[in-house]
Amino acid sequence: MLELNNVTKKYQVIPAVNRVSFTIKPSEIVGYLGPNGAGKSTTIKMLAGLLEPTEGKILFDGKNIRKDLYAYKKRIGYVPENAEIYPHLSGYDYLLMVGRLRQIPEKILKNRIKQLLEFFKLSVEMDLAISSYSKGMIQKVLIASALLHDPEVLLLDEPLSGLDVTTSLVIKDLLKMLAEDGKIIMYSSHILEVVEKICSRAIIIHNGRIVADDSVENLRNLMKLPSLEEIFNQLVVQEDTTAQARGIIAAIRS
Ligand code: ADP
Ligand code: MG
C-alpha cells in the first residue's frame, strides 16, 4: 500500500502540493488528473523519492519511504514527464545501463531488453543513438526502462505523450494486466478519456489541493454528469474558454 499523509511541497512560498492525502492499494490504477501546474508532477516526483515533502509523509507498506530510499526505489518504476535520458547512448545501451543499475543478472537482462525492444517495435533502431529517436520512440524506451525489473509500484507521469495509437492501446492493456497482477499504479494525465477507460479511481488535483477522489463510476453518479470531462470542467475549469479563444484571435490580429 502506498500512502500520502498530509503531504505539502513548497518550492517557494506558495505550495505546489497542499496537504494531499490518499492511499493506493495493490491492483488499483489511480488516475491523477488536473490542469497544467496543478501539482501532478510534483506529487509523482515525491512518490518517486526525487523530491522531499516540505511537510507530511509518504509511506509504503507502512514505512516512511525516506527512511530507506534505496530499498524503496528498488520496488518502483517511474516514467517521468520530461525525459532526462542520455542522448549519445543507443536505446539498447540505455536499457542495459538501467538494468545494470537495477542489478538484474546480465544474461536475463540482455534477453529481457531484446524482447522488450521487439515488442515496442524498436529492434531496428536499438543500436542508434537516442538523439536520433522521435518523441514517441524515447517514450517507449522510458516505459521499457520503468518496467525492466517488474516493479511493484508504477508511477507514470503522462506516459502516453507522443505515442502512436497502437502503442497506446498496448500500454493501456498492459497496465490493466499489471493491475490484475497486484501492482500499484499511479497514472498522471490531463487526458481524461484514457483515465476513464483504464483507471479504477480518479483523483483530481487543482491548485495543489485534492478536489475529488472516488471511482469514476461514483464521480459520475455523485455529480450527475455523464463523463469525466464534464466532471473535470465542473470542478476545475472556472474560466470562459470560448472568451479566451476569442481573446487569442483578437490578440494575433491586433
Ligand atoms: P503539473 O504536473 O500538474 O502540471 P507541477 O507539479 O509540474 O504541475 O507544478 C505545480 C506548480 O509548481 C506549478 O505552479 C509550477 O510552476 C511549480 N513548480 C514546479 N516545479 C518547480 C520548480 N522546480 N521550482 C519552482 N516551482 C516549480
Ligand atoms: Mg506535469
112 and 194, same domain (yes or no): no
Give the atom of ligand 1 at the shortest distance from the alpha carbon of 35: 3
Atom 19 (ligand 1) nearest CA:
42
pLDDT tier at 195, thresholds 50, 70, 90: confident
178 and 240, same domain (yes or no): yes
Could you give the C-alpha distances from 120 to 84, 180, 192, 228, in angstroms and in order? 20, 22, 24, 30
Query: What residues pack around ion ligand 2 (CB closer than 5 A)?
Result: 40-41, 81
Edge-to-edge strands of the sheet including 76-79? 76-79, 153-157, 184-189, 29-33, 201-206, 209-214
* Domain enclosing residue 136, as ranges: 82-150
Domain CATH number, residue 252 = 3.40.50.300
Q: How many domains does the chain have?
A: 2
Whether the pTM exceeds 0.75: the reply is yes
Give the atom of ligand 1 at the shortest distance from the alpha carbon of 208: 10
112 and 164, same domain (yes or no): no
Q: Return the C-alpha cell found at 148.
A: 525492466
Domain termination site, one of 150, 177, 200: 150
pLDDT in tens, 130-182: 999 999 999 999 999 999 999 999 999 999 988 998 999 999 999 999 999 99
pLDDT mean over 83-108:
94
254 occurs within a structural domain: yes
**From ligand 2's centre to the CA of 161, what distance in Å?**
11
Domain termination site, one of 123, 150, 177: 150
Task: Decide if 33 contacts 204 (C-beta within 8 A).
Answer: yes
pLDDT in tens, 29-88: 999 998 888 999 999 999 999 999 999 999 999 999 999 999 999 999 999 998 788 999
68 and 112, same domain (yes or no): no
1 occurs within a structural domain: no
